[in-house]
Every structure is written in structure tokens, then in C-alpha cells.
Amino acid sequence: MEKNTLKQDVAFIGPFDKISIFKALGYDVFEPSGQNNTRDLLNKILASYKLILITSDYARFVSDIIEDHLTSVYPLILVIPTNAEDEKYSLDKISESVNKALGVNLNLQGE
């Protein structure tokens, strides 16, 4: 009987140069090529993971899918920033996810 571990429940989507460290740590990582492949990949893995972390540059391709899953228990889809310009977008998405899931407004921007 195979033991279920946290690493089996988590996936990362983004450019390999940004997420390769997670592969080295034993997590599943995916680098789709382009907008359509990102959509296809995310739809394919939704039922396989409890937590999907996607870089902000790829998240923009699938914002509607992320939005559709804000009220789902699983998977939790979190957007992680890939650079300073994407930080606000990522923090807004994290805050929105927490607000919908828990009913708590986070002030991640310090405003």
C-alpha cells in the first residue's frame, strides 16, 4: 500500500527556470508551452492534486479556470509571482482565494 504524502498532492505550473527547485524537492512540476497548452494541462490535472501553484505569467492564461475553483475545497489554486511586477496580481489572487474560502479579507498590500 502506497503512503500518501504531501508531495503527491502538490503540483507547480510555470517556466522550468522558476520552478525547477520544486522538482528537485520531489514535487510534480509542469511547463506548458503557450496559452492553449496551459489550459489543457490545468484542466487535466485539476482532479489529481489538492494544491496547484501556478506562476503569475501562466495564471493569466487560465484566470477563468482559477476563478471557477475559488469556491472549491480542492484543488486550491494559488498564483505565485515570478517577478516584482506580478507581485500585486499574485497577492490579489491569494487574497481573493482566502476571502472566498474563509470569508476573511486579507490586507496583503498594506493599504
**Bridge pairing between strands 51-55 and 28-30:** unpaired
**Residue 70: predicted pLDDT:** 77
Delimit the domains of the chain by residue range.
6-102
**Residue 72: predicted pLDDT:** 78
Cβ neighbours, 10 Å, residue 29: 19
pTM: 0.75
**Residue 81: predicted pLDDT:** 80
**Which run of H or of E encompasses 29?**
strand 28-30
**Residue 11: predicted pLDDT:** 94
**Residue 2: predicted pLDDT:** 47
| Cα–Cα distance, 93 to 90 (Å, whole number) | 5
**Residue 79: predicted pLDDT:** 86
Fill in the amino acid letter for 25: L
Candidates 3.40.50.10580, 1.25.40.10, 3.90.1150.10, 3.30.460.10; correct CATH number of 6-102? 3.40.50.10580
Are 75 and 69 a contacting pair, CB within 8 Å?
Answer: yes
**Residue 90: predicted pLDDT:** 64
What is the full per-residue pLDDT of the chain (111 aa) written as tens digits? 344 566 688 999 999 998 888 898 889 999 999 889 999 999 999 999 988 999 988 998 998 998 888 777 788 888 888 776 666 766 676 677 666 665 656 555 554
